[in-house]
Amino acid sequence: VLIGGGATQLIDWRDEFCALLVAEGFRVIRFDHRDTGLSERFGGVDAVDGGYSVAEAAEDVLRVLDTLGLSSAHLAGHSMGGIMAQYLAIDHPERVRSMAILSAIPGLDPAYLAPSEIDAGTAEPVVFAALPRAEAIDQFVAYQRSMHVTDYPFDEDDERAHATRQIDRGYEPNGFQRHGAALRRAEDRLDRLRGVSVPTAVIHGRHDPQLLTLAAELTAEAIPGAELHIFERMGHRLERELWPEYVAIIAGNARRAGGERRA
């Protein structure tokens, strides 16, 4: 099961990335977070807080598995999705076969956060007005460009085409704010992660402009037997050029769990 970051839709896990996992023998499951894509909206049109916790949002993964008749799955979560995976491994270990945590943190300790993220976490959330389609697409592309901090090429045409799919499929200007509200309520999990027993791989970018590598290092140190992979040419985005390496790590970690591969 691929669990995306805050305010992402299932299509943020690109088809080509999923195909790499399928080639490794996995059945790939992806879904829209609440307040994104085609999923339910919470709290009203102008709400900046949906009233739910990250742990409650994480249980949406279990609902997906139940609907598909699956008792357990391998998890790979990016950013907020990595935090959701942590909650599932802690609270529902019988449902988790293995876990890959990409670009995530084990709590809200300022030591894990870049200064800009500390400031953003203390700012009063504001309602984002819905933009006209063209402006919304431009905003999406501009944000992706701002997060592009490596020397890999930034494919403007691809990002614009993807932004168009996002906006046309399920535009929710305040999904990011509602996910942010849930994240700000998340408790520290570092001590609880010490009791996690599922095979775990932790992946992080050396140049992540939001979350510092210390978060990944401490997460991997806390989880018994966890693998740590720091990518020197990676920020917070999952770089296309690194997709084969991410998939190799996810697949290798899943194989440590043994048994039938389910997702």
pLDDT, position 258: 81
Instruction: Please write the tens of the pLDDT for every residue from 80-114.
Output: 999 999 999 999 999 999 999 999 999 999 999 99
In this prediction the pTM is 0.96
Which residue(s) pair with 205 in the sheet? 231
Q: Which residues contact 97 (CB under 8 A, 6 or more apart)?
A: 72, 73, 74, 75, 198, 254, 257, 259, 261, 262
Which residue(s) pair with 194 in the sheet? none
Quote the CA–CA distance of 189 and 167 in Å, as a whole number. 34
pLDDT, position 262: 47
pLDDT, position 260: 47
Contact call for residues 28 and 3 (beta carbons, < 8 A): no
The order of strands in the sheet holding 227-231 is 2-3, 73-78, 96-102, 200-205, 227-231
pLDDT, position 261: 46
pLDDT, position 201: 98
- Residues of the chain falling short of pLDDT 50: 260-262
Average pLDDT over all residues of the chain: 95
Element (H, E) at 55: helix 54-68
